[in-house]
Structure 1
Amino acid sequence: MINVIQAGERYTAEHGWLTSRFSFSFAEYYDPQNTRFGVLRVFNDDTVQAGQGFGRHPHQDMEIVTYVIDGTLEHQDSLGNIGVIHAGEVQRITAGTGLSHSEYNHSKTEPVHFLQLWFLPDKQGHTPSWEQRQFSKEQQRNTLLPVVSGRGVADTLQMNQDVTIYLSNLEQGQTLTHTAENSNRLFYAFVIRGTLDLNGEQMHEGDAARISDEESLTLSSPDGAEFMLIDLV
C-alpha cells in the first residue's frame, strides 16, 4: 500500500524567521491520527532566514537526523561539539540520556533549507553522541546511497534503531529497485527536487509516501529527481 501525501497537505507553521512544514504532529500541530509512521516520529521541512535559528533546547531518548538541502546550519551542543552543516551533509545526534543544543543559520545573508527527522530509539538511555558527514551528489547518482543506518551498513552514520536512510540523485530515464527484506518493513519516501515515479505513483517536490506491504519498490523519473528513502520498522 502506498499513501502519497502531497506537499500542500502538510501542516505549515509560518513564524517570519522560520517556515516549517510538519509531516507529523509537532509543536502547535496535533492530530492523534498522525503522530508517527513506524519509528519515524518527526519529519520537518524547515527554512530558516539569515542569522536566525533555534536557541539552546534539550532532547532525550531520540535519534535525530538533519540533512541540509541548501545553505549552512550551525550546531552547538552540551557535549562541546561546534560545527557547521553544509549543503549535502548529514548529521546524526543520539540524544540518549540527555543533551541540549542550538541550531542557527550560519549565513548572515542567505536562508538555510533542511530536513530534520526524529526516530524513536531501540531502547532508552543511550550515551549521547554526535557525528556528521558529507555525501556528494556524484555518490548519489543513479543509486540508493545509504547515509545513516542502525543495521551495520558500512560507511554510514550509525544510529540506534533498525532503520536505513538512503539518498539518491536519479537522472532522467534511469530506474532503481529496492526489495523489502521481509513483510514487516515499512518505507518512507520524500521528494527533495524533481518528479519521482514510485510503483506507478507520481510524486513531486515536497511530496511524501508512506509505504507498507510492498515486496519491492521501482523508482524512476521522467525529468530527474533528488529524493530520500527510509527503510524502517
Structure 2
Amino acid sequence: MIQLYPASKRYTVKNDWLESNLSFSFGEYYDPSNIRFGPLRVFNDDTVQPGRGFGIHPHREAEIVSIVLKGQLKHEDNLGNAGIIGTGSIQRISAGTGVLHSEFNASKQEEVQFLQLWFSPDEKKLTPSYEDISYDLEQMHNQLLPVISHTGSERVAKIHQDLTLYLSRLDGKETLTFRQEEGRRIYVFTIEGEISINNDNILKSRDAARITDLPEITIQASQDSFFLLIDLPGGEF
C-alpha cells in the first residue's frame, strides 16, 4: 500500500526566526492518527534565519538525524562535541540516557534549511554519542546512496535502529528500482523536483509517501529531482 502525504497537509510552525513544517505529531501539533511510521517518529523540515537557532535543550531515548540542504548548521553538546555541518553532511546524535545540545544557524547572512528526523532506538539506555559524516554528492547521481545505516561504514553514519537512509539525485526520465525484504516499510520524501512511484503515485517537492506490503517499488523522475528513501523495519513500535 502506498499512502501519499502532500506537503500542503503538513502542520506549520512559523515565527520571526523559524519556519518548521511537521510531518508527524511534534510539540504543539498533536494528531493521534499521525504519531509515527514504524520507528520514524519525527520528520521536521526547518528553515532558520541568520544567527538564530535552538538554545541548549535536552533529549533522551532517540536517534536524531540532521540533513543540511542549504547553509550551515552549528552544533554544540555537553559531550564536548562542537562543529558546523553544511550541504553534503549528515549529523547523527544518539540521545540515549540523555544529552544536552544546541543548534544554530552558523551564518549571519543566509538562512539554513535542514531536515531533522527522530527514530526510536533499537535498545534503551544507550550511552549518548555523536557522529557527523560527509558524503560524495556525485555518488548519488542516478542511484541510491546510503548515508545512514545500522552497521555504518566509511561515509555512512551508524544508527541504533534496523534502517538504511538513502539519498538520490535522479535525472528527468531516469528510473530506479528499490527492493527490500518482505514485511518492511519504505518512506520516501521528495526534496526537490517531481517523482512517481510505480507510475501513478506522484510526489512533488516536499511530498512524502509511506509504503507497506510492497517489497519492490519503481521510482521515475519527471524532471531532475532530489529525494530520500528510508528502508524501515516492520512490526510494532
TM-score when normalising by structure 1:
0.97
More deviation, 158-167/173-182? 173-182
Q: Deviations over 1:23-82 (max 9, x none)?
A: 000010000110100000100000000000000000111000000000000000010001
Q: How does 1:28-67 map to 2 (within 5 A)?
A: 28-67=28-67
Paired amino acid for 2:80: G
Residue 196 in 1 paired to residue 204 in 2? no
Q: Which amino acid is the alignment partner of residue 142 of structure 1?
A: N
2:93 is matched with which residue? 93
Rounded to whole Å, the distance in 1 between the matches of 2:153 and 2:58 is: 30
Q: Deviations over 1:152-205 (max 9, x none)?
A: 2543100100110000011122111111212x2001000000011111211110
Letter in 1 for 2:232: L
Q: Distance in 1 between matches of 2:125 and 2:152?
A: 23
Structure 1 residue 222 displacement after superposition: 1.5
Query: What SS does the corresponding residue of 1:176 show, helix, strand or coil?
Result: strand
Distance (whole Å) between structure 2 residues aligned to residue 45 and residue 159 of structure 1: 20
Q: Where does structure 2 lack aligned partners over 5 or more consecutive residues?
A: none
Alignment of 1:1-233 (within 5 A): 1-150=1-150, 152=151, 154-155=153-154, 156-182=156-182, 184-200=183-199, 201-233=201-233
CA distance in 1, matches of 2:218, 2:153: 24
**Is the alpha carbon distance of 1:199 and 1:138 closer, same or farther for their aligned partners in structure 2, counting shifts above 3 Å?**
same
| Per-residue deviation, residues 116-145 of structure 1 (Å, max 9, x unmatched) | 000000011111111111123201101110
Dislocated runs of 4+, deviation >3 Å: none
SS at match of 1:44: strand
Query: How large is the Cα RMSD of the aligned pairs?
Result: 0.9
Letter of the 1:157 partner, please give it.
A
Q: Distance in 2 between matches of 1:211 and 1:169?
A: 20
Q: Distance in 1 between matches of 2:17 and 2:136?
A: 29
Query: How many residues in Structure 1 have an aligned counterpart in Structure 2?
Result: 231
Q: Distance in 2 between matches of 1:136 and 1:196?
A: 22
Q: Distance in 1 between matches of 2:97 and 2:10?
A: 31
Q: Calculate the TM-score normalised by the size of structure 2.
A: 0.95
- SS of the residue aligned with 1:41? strand
Q: Distance in 2 between matches of 1:49 and 1:87?
A: 17
- Aligned partners of 2:218, 2:91: CA distance in 1, in Å? 28
